[in-house]
Structure 1
Amino acid sequence: MLLASRLLLAVVLGLTSVVVFASPVVPRVPHERRSAIPHGWAPTRRADSDFIIPLRIGLSQSNLQSLEEYLLDVSHPESPNYGNHWSPAKVAETFKPSAESVSTVRGWLVESGIGAERVRLNPSGGWLVANVTVAEAEELLGTEYYVYEHAETGHKQLGCGQTYHLPEHVSPHVELVTPTLHFDAKVRHRRGGPLEKRSVKSKVGSPGSGPVSPKTTGIIKTIFNQLEHCDEQITPICVRALYDFVYLPLATHKNSIGIVEYTPQAYVPSDLDMFFGNFSASQVGERPNLISIDGGFDVNGESDLDLQYAMSLVGKSQPVTLYQTGDDVEGASFNTLLDALDGSYCTFEGGDDPEDPAYPDPFGGYQGDLQCGIVTPAHVISTSYSYDEWELTPAYEQRQCAEYAKLGLMGVTMLYSSGDYGVAGNGGICLDSDGEPDFFGTSFAPSFPGSCPFITSVGATQVNPGAKVTDPESACMQVIFSGGGFSNVFAMPSYQKSAVEHYLSKYAPAYPAGTFNTSGSRAYPDLSANGANYVVAVQGEFELVYGTSASSPVTAAILSAVNDARLAIGKKPIGFINPTIYSGAFQHAFNDITNGTNPGCGTDGFTAEPGWDPVTGLGTPNFPRLLASWLLLP
């Protein structure tokens, strides 16, 4: 299907990548390109010239060149400002686009025939917005617009070809323009317009849309809840034994932990009680504190795994917040979550991507207003979903990654699962020699946001068959493989340079050039936790579940306990942890994993080796050592 989509794209778009609708006055330059479209999408026809596009122009933000420096200043253990996190107001003011950028882009639009009354600056000052026709957008951007359709879902999306262009003097003031090349969004239609049916985007919580979905080997006949059987079934006591995790919370009124789910993935209350009844009797009847973001509601799926383990590990006295994101009609993207967490991120109609759902939903879903900046972010937030880097454009990923850095500046620890397909992308997809998706490709396919240098990426380990819970774990190689590798988009952050270069100098596999990025890029995961043989209550039955989807909430629970201990003695939460965990002071705070690989793309992937590796990161948490090390910091 990938090959067919690519051939159809080439036939329909033909000269799109080389034809520039040149202005006789203003020379243009390519601003963003994409060589392939995500799996399942194909262009069906040219968009009608009078169709209305909600054109949104993301302005270049100020001071982004200093973003890592600012973040290290509050996150590196040797910094005198460690823990002095920023206020949301300071974040918004520091990165607000300049008046010059606003003036330059607005001037270009007006000079191109877009009436000044049609051009608006959104409340955060980050986007210029204007409703334009397809014909106007094609002239502005030097491109052609098509209607794309997803072969499996029938969803439709409006987008341009392989490239769009901006005037030379405007391009430096713009990060990205939507709708153009980004398939993390959907098209809205006007009443009586050319799209006959309501067109919705592929929901991040839907099967096949990009989540790191946990895998199962089926229903469990007999449940073991003894340490002697942790090689067969992981239960909360196994997790506690593996990571020496015993802690009584002391500052629950100050502390907070959040689990993110995307509708239609949610939980069944009776499954929680079934799980608690077997493994944490005092929590029967306990529920997470629901924050419904743009119509999110509780049902079932991924959330059963995340919540059962996060809640049982932090214990009855520590509330767990569920960020249920998106309604069942519109769905949601990562931007919908970011909208709610940080009001400065919101735009005129929706998130960093202004094609995100409009509320009230005209199609029968959530009827309230867009929820912008409604949430004080939890100190630790775990998300078990991802896309692959190739599915989104670099400009889109870089803009979103910067938002995670801003949350880090405010003291939030963001965890993301690293993926379940080793060095391959979701579903086992790889890349060909041109960087395009190909099931038979031999180049590795990094994940996103796992490859963003401003989140903490969590890989997966396992208790080896026949081993004791006290024996060293290995990289997960049952049912799933720990996601890991090297980004094709993001440069290597300074905090991991020494650890990654050590791995590459001593243990790098001898693969052909182009198999993975060796040009000094962000490497992941950062750490790991068990991801195999979890006992989970799903739809009234216990099943064995596998995935980094388990590793991330388990790690979140352990880090939340560290925050509790620090808050109890008057210290700040740990915030963005990567500069700290890669530092010399934390060298012995992890259980080093030295066995296993993460195969994919016709290779054995990478190998787990002493020190950091692109399979299990720095290793698994050793809670007493982590706690002691963090309590020594300011």
Structure 2
Amino acid sequence: MRSFLPFVVLGLGLLATAGPALSPRILHEKRTHVPAGWTLKRRHDPSTPIPLRFALTQKNINDVGKYLMEVSHPDSELYGKHWSAGDVLKTFAPSDETIEAVRSWLLEGGVESDRIQLTQNKGWIEVAATVEEAERLLQTEYNLYSHTSGKEHVACDAYHLPVHVAPHVDFVTPSIHFDAKLTRRDSTQPAHSIGQPGPGIGPKTTGKLQAQLPSDTSTCNEYITLDCLRALYGLEYTPNATGSNSYGIVEYTPQAYLQTDLNMFFGNFSPSQNGTSPYLVSIDGGYAQTEYQGFEYNGESDLDLQYAMGLLGPSQTVTLYQVGDIVEGASFNNFLDALDGSYCTFEGGDDPSQDAIYPDPYGGGYEGPEACGTVTPANVISTSYSYDEADLSVFYATRQCAEYAKLGLMGVTILYSSGDYGVAGNGGLCLNPDGSQSTNGTMFNPTFPASCPYITSVGATMIPPNSTVYDPETACEEVIYSGGGFSNYFTIPSYQQSAVDSYLTNYYPSYPTNIWNATGSRAYPDISANGANYLVAIDGGFELVYGTSCSSPVSGAILTMVNDARIAAGKSTIGFINPTIYSSQFAGVFTDITTGDNPGCGTNGFNATVGWDPVTGLGTPNLPKLLQAWSALP
């Protein structure tokens, strides 16, 4: 696999032989615009304290793709020989050289040693500085920005590092980043942060069901139920290794399920599960809150759990990772920190400019210790939340993407929904030439983590009107459009090179290359599953729900069945599946979707075609074929 950070690799060539005092400065990061909702307030006071944090580059990180391919590609002799957390820690911890390079530069820059702290996990160097000192060290100017919510944020437009230090630093905070988590200090409203369902994020609904609940599969084109999915994807499977298998669903407070909704759903569609609950794992004070109710608070979690639990049946426990309290909320990094102690070590823990901080520094929220290595990751983890790539800096996104690669090394399958706005970003936002996002932008806006090459991105299909479960599905074009396209941040991984080359050779898009990335980048989604007309019990009634939020947990349940069969046979979990599913051994295992498109940004988007396409990926799962193909692997 190609490195996903080619520009960082090139940066190593800038290493100077001159001493630190002679080392010239180079631009490290630059922001092109101020994100929507933020306005410049004033120049920051030079005497104000500022907590500088330097994210240290990780040893061997540019080889993470190679290592992952070794344990994930079916042709490899090391297939399925997953790493332990200790193996990952030992391989990727920042080197002593990196730590010393940054520390020496700070000392030579006039920072006393007692103000320079290496975090316990060696992921960050923290400096207690003033704004004036930070501006001198980074050759920048800090400003104070205000948000329409009333929050304030400190940021600069660009910053510079010595040429000999730059290869050892991923990014600095606070700096150009505006992907800050907006915490709630107003007790009248629950938290919403980037990555959580807010305007334009999360499943969609057309409202309460007015008709009678279906009793068979004859109306699956109008109402998707557990039986419809079983018929579509051959999901007749009796688990045999439930005690050793695991499936995790991630939710971010205030998103929470209602037990009464689970009871209503199971009472109608899976009576043997009536009264059952997921196994709840609280992360940073997360809990199934009931203070706030309604589709915007219960829709996602109710959907995920009813279909994940319902498809797997009563013998397989589903783990609910409930992340963040209702005051501070949480980010993806808060969740990743909790999965295993090694993640805190690799990534340096929480970043106060981007992630929720626990114990709650303001009071009123969760005041226990931050979750760090408190949770062992499930074999399969599904998340139906997302950012847009443009919400994040390249360094922040690539650093998080590396975390997903490390999970794959440990045998974990990570699924993310691909988005519901076709080639546009969340809420239908598209990119403008200056890098900003707006509803009238014309440039395609990829979603993240769907565009990370180390996760499996799941798009959405649907049963066409007047069709049955035995007819071909099409790309979802009802209420939502399957997210898909080409990353602006990540290069194309080797595992999908052939599939994407075939698409671009036979179905090259007719759009000008200045509105989509035609330079050979990571393409998504990888697979798809039905994402339309789901019957979900929400707040005491059934609603029709749409979105890749449906597709991801259903795909995760199916892959959990595959893991069950492999574990029962004494084999490893499937782990990172992309190199396998794109391989020749899996040709024809997924049902190809060849009709439909994914409009956005004033275009019809891309087309679903024969073979892989940036609308439905390789297609929809067929469990019998998946079981047969994976059973043939060691």
- TM normalised by structure 1 equals 0.92
The offset of 1:390, in angstroms, is 0.8
* 1:89 aligns with one of 86, 91, 96: 86
The offset of 1:382, in angstroms, is 0.2
Q: Are the equivalent residues in 1 in contact too, given 2:589–2:621 (CA < 8 A)?
A: yes
Tell me the equivalent position of 1:287.
277
2:249 pairs with 1:254: no
Structure 2 distance, partners of 1:187, 1:433, is 26
Structure 2 distance, partners of 1:292, 1:464, is 40
Tell me the equivalent position of 1:359.
358
Q: Match for 2:360: what amino acid? A: D
The offset of 1:100, in angstroms, is 1.1
Tell me the equivalent position of 1:553.
553
* 1:36 aligns with one of 33, 38, 47: 33
Q: Secondary structure at the match of 2:537?
A: strand
Structure 2 distance, partners of 1:348, 1:494, is 25
Q: Match for 1:325: what amino acid? A: V
Count residues in correspondence: 604
Q: Are the equivalent residues in 1 in contact too, given 2:424–2:600 (CA < 8 A)?
A: yes
Tell me the equivalent position of 1:240.
230
The offset of 1:353, in angstroms, is 3.2
The offset of 1:208, in angstroms, is 3.1
- Quick check: 445-454 or 122-131, which moved more? 122-131
Q: Are the equivalent residues in 2 in contact too, given 1:129–1:348 (CA < 8 A)?
A: no
2:152 pairs with 1:156: yes
Structure 2 distance, partners of 1:96, 1:469, is 50
Q: Are the equivalent residues in 2 in contact too, given 1:157–1:186 (CA < 8 A)?
A: no
Tell me the equivalent position of 1:17.
none
Tell me the equivalent position of 2:24.
27
The offset of 1:540, in angstroms, is 0.8
Tell me the equivalent position of 2:202.
213
Tell me the equivalent position of 1:413.
413
Q: Deviations over 1:410-453 (max 9, x none)?
A: 00000000000000011111112344323222210000110000
2:307 pairs with 1:309: yes
Structure 2 distance, partners of 1:572, 1:74, is 11
Structure 2 distance, partners of 1:611, 1:349, is 37
Alignment of 1:70-469 (within 5 A): 70-151=67-148, 153-160=149-156, 162-186=157-181, 203-204=193-194, 206-208=196-198, 212-222=201-211, 223-299=213-289, 300-346=298-344, 351=349, 353-355=351-353, 356-362=355-361, 363-469=363-469
Structure 2 distance, partners of 1:473, 1:595, is 8
Q: Are the equivalent residues in 1 in contact too, given 2:283–2:322 (CA < 8 A)?
A: yes
Structure 1 distance, partners of 2:214, 2:470, is 17
Q: Secondary structure at the match of 2:612?
A: coil
Q: Match for 1:313: what amino acid? A: L
Structure 2 distance, partners of 1:94, 1:286, is 41
Unaligned 5+ runs, structure 2: 1-19, 290-297
Q: Are the equivalent residues in 2 in contact too, given 1:431–1:438 (CA < 8 A)?
A: yes
The offset of 1:352, in angstroms, is 5.6
Q: Are the equivalent residues in 2 in contact too, given 1:338–1:351 (CA < 8 A)?
A: no
Q: Secondary structure at the match of 2:198?
A: coil
Q: Are the equivalent residues in 1 in contact too, given 2:203–2:300 (CA < 8 A)?
A: yes
Structure 2 distance, partners of 1:348, 1:563, is 27
- Quick check: 470-479 or 508-517, which moved more? 508-517
Structure 2 distance, partners of 1:308, 1:558, is 14
Distance change (3 Å), C-alpha of 1:350 and 1:74:
closer
Q: Match for 2:202: what amino acid? A: S
Tell me the equivalent position of 2:632.
632
Q: Secondary structure at the match of 1:498?
A: helix
Distance change (3 Å), C-alpha of 1:515 and 1:124:
same
Unaligned 5+ runs, structure 1: 1-22, 190-194
Structure 2 distance, partners of 1:430, 1:215, is 19
Structure 2 distance, partners of 1:225, 1:433, is 52
Q: Deviations over 1:374-410 (max 9, x none)?
A: 1110000000011111111101111110010000000
Structure 2 distance, partners of 1:603, 1:225, is 39
The offset of 1:39, in angstroms, is 2.5
Q: Are the equivalent residues in 1 in contact too, given 2:593–2:616 (CA < 8 A)?
A: yes
Structure 2 distance, partners of 1:358, 1:349, is 15
Structure 2 distance, partners of 1:196, 1:237, is 44
Q: Are the equivalent residues in 2 in contact too, given 1:156–1:187 (CA < 8 A)?
A: no
Q: Match for 1:401: what amino acid? A: C
Distance change (3 Å), C-alpha of 1:518 and 1:348:
closer
Q: Are the equivalent residues in 1 in contact too, given 2:122–2:348 (CA < 8 A)?
A: no
Q: Match for 1:244: what amino acid? A: G
Structure 1 distance, partners of 2:192, 2:31, is 19
Distance change (3 Å), C-alpha of 1:328 and 1:371:
same
Distance change (3 Å), C-alpha of 1:493 and 1:466:
same
Distance change (3 Å), C-alpha of 1:314 and 1:112:
same
CA-based RMSD of the aligned residues comes to 2.3
Structure 1 distance, partners of 2:147, 2:476, is 33
Structure 2 distance, partners of 1:284, 1:477, is 33
Structure 1 distance, partners of 2:352, 2:241, is 39
Structure 2 distance, partners of 1:136, 1:347, is 28
Distance change (3 Å), C-alpha of 1:416 and 1:206:
closer
Q: Deviations over 1:109-154 (max 9, x none)?
A: 1111221111111122121112222222122111222222222x32
Q: Are the equivalent residues in 1 in contact too, given 2:55–2:348 (CA < 8 A)?
A: no
Q: Are the equivalent residues in 2 in contact too, given 1:156–1:186 (CA < 8 A)?
A: no
The offset of 1:42, in angstroms, is 2.1
Q: Match for 1:559: what amino acid? A: L
The offset of 1:624, in angstroms, is 0.3
Q: Secondary structure at the match of 2:504?
A: helix
Q: Match for 1:248: what amino acid? A: T
Distance change (3 Å), C-alpha of 1:225 and 1:435:
farther
Structure 2 distance, partners of 1:529, 1:351, is 34
Q: Are the equivalent residues in 1 in contact too, given 2:89–2:346 (CA < 8 A)?
A: no
Q: Secondary structure at the match of 1:322?
A: strand
Structure 1 distance, partners of 2:262, 2:145, is 41
Structure 2 distance, partners of 1:307, 1:410, is 25
Give the fraction of aligned pairs with identical amino acids, expressed as a percent.
61
- TM normalised by structure 2 equals 0.92
Q: Secondary structure at the match of 1:411?
A: coil
Q: Are the equivalent residues in 1 in contact too, given 2:423–2:600 (CA < 8 A)?
A: yes
Tell me the equivalent position of 2:582.
582
Q: Are the equivalent residues in 2 in contact too, given 1:212–1:549 (CA < 8 A)?
A: no
Structure 2 distance, partners of 1:304, 1:196, is 26
